[in-house]
Chain A
């Protein structure tokens, strides 16, 4: 049997991500690459970033830039300025580009906002998580509802796009709790909202407490109710549900994240950061100390590396594309990957269509509401 292997031409990344792992406190649910209470490492970290980025040899213009964490705003003004300067030196933002920064509401102050604006930041993502003190306490957050209000007010006046993160499905959380959070968030008229069902990730305090039976995960039914409430509430308020966890007002989708989901390439720097360049996926060491040690001694910080074969890349792109509510365009997909959707997933596709978990809308394959709720059960059949 002779099968033509589709060849993929990689066009080079148009996005970049820089990770800042510092936090004042490591929250019990968080499994990101973070390091708490080690402000003393910031200077070295910036040095390390400088070294890592220098490997790029020449500046790479990008259309989207994302400073995530951790908490980038944990840096003081001088440090923040160095970071912005360094980032833009290696990743100059093209005209009309999107520059996002993640921020903790407790850190948002006029001078830092001024600084961000001065360096071209035009999107800020605030880790609000909740407006209710009991939820914030469970989540071990150091801010309150008033602080979120102030932060949004301050940011909205200067930054074009403001996004809020919310978490639902805490142990003992009621549907009313969640409904209140959604309303409080909508009252602030953000351009973008991300709602995340709480998960218990291995290595977090929440996970070990759950293992020991000290906290109990909410029932699946209750979690689903909350998720559906969010979708119904937010779409009714005029936000578009454009990815599993993401909602946006028109023209306020996060273009950087959309690049991830569409299978595009991206640069990355910093501890635990992942890049995808020329079909090669690399992830840096998660341990900040290791990362520093490696980079500052002239070694590569890459911990994992894998080259995706064209078919694997196509399958991956299909899965992550389908997590977008718009779904995947049949012709686009074929053109970009060289594979047809039907050829890749013939049998499961048929099954899932019959079960009403997927649907064709004209030329686009997409998840139905039911499919979205159980989508993780679909993906194994696709990969």
Chain B
């Protein structure tokens, strides 16, 4: 395939703007898939993705399309739409020459539309603005086009209007892709140089490596070398996804496809690595990718300590196909042996947890998520703090720093008031307000990341009746007057319940946490005291009173089985709790520390 007839592109969009549906329509419009073979959202092949309507992993599909007597190869590299997976978006973008910037004709420009468009511009991609859902009765194409122009400086007349649902405008879009997106450059006869932009592990075939060939040609049966990894492999199969895998004899410069080399461990396939041939042919390694930035950490513990190894296996399996997720063993006095896990964001955390639950039988206790802090010791040493337990003694701390994020929020003007109030409550520092149109504005704040990750998105949705959208990025660590707040249950400090918070906020947080814990901890056969303390100073206390009466009156022949089963079931319930001292603490209680005491619900 001549480079001139290849187009490599991604679709970037805010979540729910119809990216997957558009991808389906493109496949269908080009005859790559018969209509009757279509399942909705073909590219989302993980069950979970389908369930949540979110595309998590980038996938590449090669589409043959005939236009004006020529056959083109269009490689669609799918990207996820959620802010947590921004890292995956940028991975896809480096393999493309163009991007379809998809905007919902009713919703208009949203926070992630802007973030994704900037990412595409940074990668020097040609952007084709596409307005989707043009068939909707309440579509407002004129205003939305103005928003695109205002927010992104893209002329309104370049916008292609489509309805991914009905198929309207798809042909025009295909023409625009071919006309406007540059063909890839690269020489098929040059030494092999290919970018590994993704990989996944197949139980039967081993590692499947996704590549974009920058230069040269790769053929079945030849030997390849990973430049960074340094390993050499024989290529057993080359192919493209159409959308199912279809083997080919070779892939040449400009093309996108997969390699199967009988690689039994994904550890050997580094995303961002460069594929070349063995020996020294002077091929340079490509720039590769930035390490994904994990923003959120939490502890994952097996409810039953016996399941530790099983949990490790399950985490390993997950990490294989998700390099943005990391974990290392940790120990908690309260929870025993478990793992500290790092995630890109809260959604990522939720998804990993759900997958763990679906794919293994391990009952999990999750500690409240926290961000990473920095502590500068008196000695000058800088520590990265991934969990509150790691905070050193106050006396040793020279400076305590927390991460600050830049948050962009797009919201209809009528909700600016409530959203500003929300951001102020979250210690936001307003940087900018920009009107995208008379009706919509983009607010930019700097805010402690800790205030962002827990629930800002949910709160934004309720403050704006669901219309507000947000995006955030890490800016820097800044000094702050922070303390570690300890929680004690019947006098025992529960390390997994400790939190790091602002000193001025400690009273409120402390009270909120003990109040919440009082609700979550069931009454025991003895009184349970729940306290919040800074060092040895108790700042809040609640008491869970002892049970006074809990006894079955009637217990005769027919009741025995029923009662035994009931009590055995209660025992199973107790097993899922963590026993600290003699207090059974339910899993939910470990999330109690997220209760900030600011909400009037």
Residues of B within 8 A of A375 (CB): 550-552
Answer whether residue A52 sits at the interface, using C-beta atoms and an 8 A cutoff. Answer: no
Residues of B within 8 A of A316 (CB): 560, 564
Cross-chain contact B557 with A260 (CB below 8 angstroms):
yes
Residues of A within 8 A of B563 (CB): 379
Closest A residue to B561 by beta carbon equals A281
Closest B residue to A274 by beta carbon equals B558
- A-contact 0/1 string along B578-599, CB 8 Å cutoff: 0000100000000000000000
Cross-chain contact B557 with A372 (CB below 8 angstroms):
no
Which stretch from A79-87, A144-152, A217-225 is at the chain B interface? A217-225
Answer whether residue B526 sits at the interface, using C-beta atoms and an 8 A cutoff. Answer: yes
Answer whether residue A234 sits at the interface, using C-beta atoms and an 8 A cutoff. Answer: no
The contact size tier of chain A is: 35 or more
Closest B residue to A245 by beta carbon equals B553
Answer whether residue B574 sits at the interface, using C-beta atoms and an 8 A cutoff. Answer: yes
Closest A residue to B522 by beta carbon equals A377
Which stretch from A54-62, A115-123, A265-273 is at the chain B interface? A265-273
Contact A244:B567 (CB < 8 A) given known A274-B560, A274-B561, A377-B550:
no
Answer whether residue B571 sits at the interface, using C-beta atoms and an 8 A cutoff. Answer: yes
Closest 3 CB pairs of A and B: A380-B571, A224-B549, A380-B570
Answer whether residue B568 sits at the interface, using C-beta atoms and an 8 A cutoff. Answer: yes
Instruction: Name the distance in Å between B184's Cβ and chain A's nearest Cβ.
Output: 65
Write 23 A-B pairs (CB below 8 A) sorted by A numbering.
A220-B547, A220-B549, A221-B548, A224-B549, A244-B553, A260-B556, A260-B557, A260-B560, A261-B555, A275-B557, A281-B560, A306-B561, A316-B560, A319-B564, A320-B555, A374-B550, A376-B567, A379-B563, A379-B567, A379-B570, A380-B568, A383-B564, A383-B571
Residues of A within 8 A of B550 (CB): 373-377
Instruction: Name the distance in Å between B332's Cβ and chain A's nearest Cβ.
Output: 21
Further pairs besides A220-B547, A244-B552, A379-B567: 6, Cβ < 8 Å: A197-B551, A244-B555, A245-B555, A272-B558, A375-B551, A379-B570
Instruction: Name the distance in Å between B436's Cβ and chain A's nearest Cβ.
Output: 50
Closest A residue to B558 by beta carbon equals A274
Residues of B within 8 A of A306 (CB): 561
Q: Which chain A residues numbered 274 to 318 have a C-beta less than 8 Å away from chain B?
A: 274-276, 281, 283, 304, 306, 316
Q: Which chain A residues numbered 353 to 381 have a C-beta less than 8 Å away from chain B?
A: 355, 357, 372-381
Closest B residue to A254 by beta carbon equals B556
A residues apposed to B, CB below 8 Å: 17, 33, 195-197, 199, 220-221, 223-224, 227, 244-245, 257, 260-261, 266, 268, 272-276, 281, 283, 304, 306, 316, 319-320, 323, 351, 355, 357, 372-383
Instruction: Name the distance in Å between B582's Cβ and chain A's nearest Cβ.
Output: 6
Instruction: Name the distance in Å between B527's Cβ and chain A's nearest Cβ.
Output: 12
Answer whether residue B383 sits at the interface, using C-beta atoms and an 8 A cutoff. Answer: no
Cross-chain contact B560 with A224 (CB below 8 angstroms):
no
- A-contact 0/1 string along B532-555, CB 8 Å cutoff: 000000000000000111111111
The contact size tier of chain B is: 20 to 34
Cross-chain contact A197 with B561 (CB below 8 angstroms):
no
Contact A373:B557 (CB < 8 A) given known A351-B582, A355-B526, A381-B571:
no
Closest B residue to A284 by beta carbon equals B558
A224 to B570, CA, bound (A): 22
Instruction: Name the distance in Å between B44's Cβ and chain A's nearest Cβ.
Output: 42
Instruction: Name the distance in Å between A144's Cβ and chain B's nearest Cβ.
Output: 24
Residues of B within 8 A of A276 (CB): 557, 560
Closest B residue to A371 by beta carbon equals B525
Instruction: Name the distance in Å between A78's Cβ and chain B's nearest Cβ.
Output: 28
Closest B residue to A323 by beta carbon equals B555
Contact A372:B558 (CB < 8 A) given known A316-B564, A377-B525:
no
B residues apposed to A, CB below 8 Å: 524-526, 547-558, 560-561, 563-564, 567-568, 570-571, 573-574, 582
Contact with A374, one of B525, B554, B555, B567 (Cβ below 8 angstroms) = B525
Contact A383:B560 (CB < 8 A) given known A199-B553, A351-B582:
no
Cross-chain contact B525 with A355 (CB below 8 angstroms):
yes
Cross-chain contact B551 with A244 (CB below 8 angstroms):
yes
Instruction: Name the distance in Å between B569's Cβ and chain A's nearest Cβ.
Output: 8
Cross-chain contact B551 with A376 (CB below 8 angstroms):
yes
Residues of A within 8 A of B547 (CB): 220, 374, 377
Instruction: Name the distance in Å between A195's Cβ and chain B's nearest Cβ.
Output: 8
Residues of A within 8 A of B567 (CB): 319, 376, 379-380, 382-383
A351 to B582, CA, bound (A): 8
Instruction: Name the distance in Å between B482's Cβ and chain A's nearest Cβ.
Output: 39
A276 to B547, CA, bound (A): 33
Residues of A within 8 A of B526 (CB): 355
A376 to B553, CA, bound (A): 10
Cross-chain contact A374 with B557 (CB below 8 angstroms):
no
Residues of B within 8 A of A376 (CB): 550-552, 567
Closest B residue to A266 by beta carbon equals B557
Instruction: Name the distance in Å between A146's Cβ and chain B's nearest Cβ.
Output: 27
Cross-chain contact A196 with B557 (CB below 8 angstroms):
no
Instruction: Name the distance in Å between A148's Cβ and chain B's nearest Cβ.
Output: 20
Residues of A within 8 A of B552 (CB): 199, 244, 375-376
Residues of A within 8 A of B525 (CB): 355, 357, 374, 377-378
A227 to B550, CA, bound (A): 11
Which of A244, A380, A382 is the most central at the interface, judged by chain B CB atoms within 10 Å of its CB? A380
Residues of B within 8 A of A272 (CB): 558
A379 to B26, CA, bound (A): 62
A268 to B557, CA, bound (A): 9
Cross-chain contact B548 with A273 (CB below 8 angstroms):
no
Residues of A within 8 A of B561 (CB): 274, 281, 283, 304, 306
Cross-chain contact B557 with A224 (CB below 8 angstroms):
no
A272 to B554, CA, bound (A): 16
A273 to B556, CA, bound (A): 11
A268 to B564, CA, bound (A): 19
A231 to B568, CA, bound (A): 29
A257 to B560, CA, bound (A): 12
Closest B residue to A383 by beta carbon equals B568
Cross-chain contact B558 with A197 (CB below 8 angstroms):
no
Residues of B within 8 A of A281 (CB): 560-561
A227 to B553, CA, bound (A): 10
A227 to B548, CA, bound (A): 11
